[in-house]
Amino acid sequence: MTAIGLEFEHLQSSVEALRRSLSNRLMYGVGKDAVTARPQDWLHAASLAVRDRLVERWMITTRRQYDQDVKRVYYLSMEFLIGRTFSNALIALGIHDQMKEALASVGVDMDTVLDYEPDAALGNGGLGRLAACFLDSMATLGIPGFGYGIRYDYGMFRQQIVNGEQVEAPDYWLRYGNPWEFPRPEVQYSVHFGGRTLQRNGQVEWVDTQHVNAMAYDTVIPGYATSATNTLRLWSARADEEL
């Protein structure tokens, strides 16, 4: 297929431009108006408005890397503690104050909105924090990089005190969705495990396995004060057959 240079509207980052993006994303992305919108809805709309500006850089960076056929760093980790993407993206893009003013212009306090964003529960140790720092650093330095990991539904535990004892429960961080990720249903692989091996005709066969489908989800990783971005691709386990 021949590549076609598509034109797109460059998104500005002024207070007025962000305010318009907030209104558009609240209506067309969230399906709410300003009267019925809750803080969670405003967080979703603001996240989509910021993500739009990241995607523009993402497409340009990715196309440049493929055109130049550059070498890439592929970082595999069981955990990626990327923190709260909304506040991180605002800092990376240098639009924290503009977004705060844009939200205030529609009667929304940004500090209240920020409190509604959960940490991405993609692990619970230093390994995940280190992996996230590597991705941030590579993007900031303009090093083409790709992170690969697992999209945990329950990557952390929620701790409570019940009758004087600590009780752990799953922390479903995706309860309200994740506006930062792009599902890639066209990118799926069958992952096998278990089973047994057989010797046949001088070859080893892996048989009687159980398997699940791994589906890709992509998230943009922005560099700080630069137009360069990288990609975090997480794999979600799916049933290989529908019920």
What does the alpha-carbon distance between residue 233 and residue 214 come to, in Å, rounded to a whole number?
11
What is the Cα 95 distance to its own chain's centre? 19
The predicted pLDDT at position 1 comes to: 45
Residue type, 148: Y
Mean per-residue pLDDT for 4-15?
77
* E strand segments, 28-79: 73-76
The pLDDT tens digits for 59-89 are: 999 999 999 999 999 999 999 999 899 999 9
Q: pLDDT-derived band of residue 243, with 50, 70 and 90 as boundaries?
A: low
Residues 55 and 220 sit within 8 Å (Cβ to Cβ): yes
In the predicted structure, residue 120 carries a pLDDT above the cut 70: yes
In the predicted structure, residue 6 carries a pLDDT above the cut 70: no
Mean per-residue pLDDT for 112-141?
92
> How many CB atoms neighbour CB 19 within 10 A?
19
Mean pLDDT of the chain: 92
What does the alpha-carbon distance between residue 99 and residue 95 come to, in Å, rounded to a whole number?
6
With CA atoms as reference, report the closest residue to 225 among 130, 123, 141, 145.
141
Locate the domains of the chain by residue range: 15-238
The pLDDT tens digits for 157-206 are: 888 899 999 998 888 899 999 999 999 999 999 999 999 999 988 899 99
The predicted pLDDT at position 242 comes to: 66
Residues 43 and 214 sit within 8 Å (Cβ to Cβ): no
> Which of 16-20, 150-154, 190-194 is predicted most confidently?
16-20
Tokens of 230: 């990288």
The predicted pLDDT at position 155 comes to: 76
What does the alpha-carbon distance between residue 177 and residue 181 come to, in Å, rounded to a whole number?
9
Q: pLDDT-derived band of residue 7, with 50, 70 and 90 as boundaries?
A: low
Fold of 15-238: Rossmann fold (3.40.50)
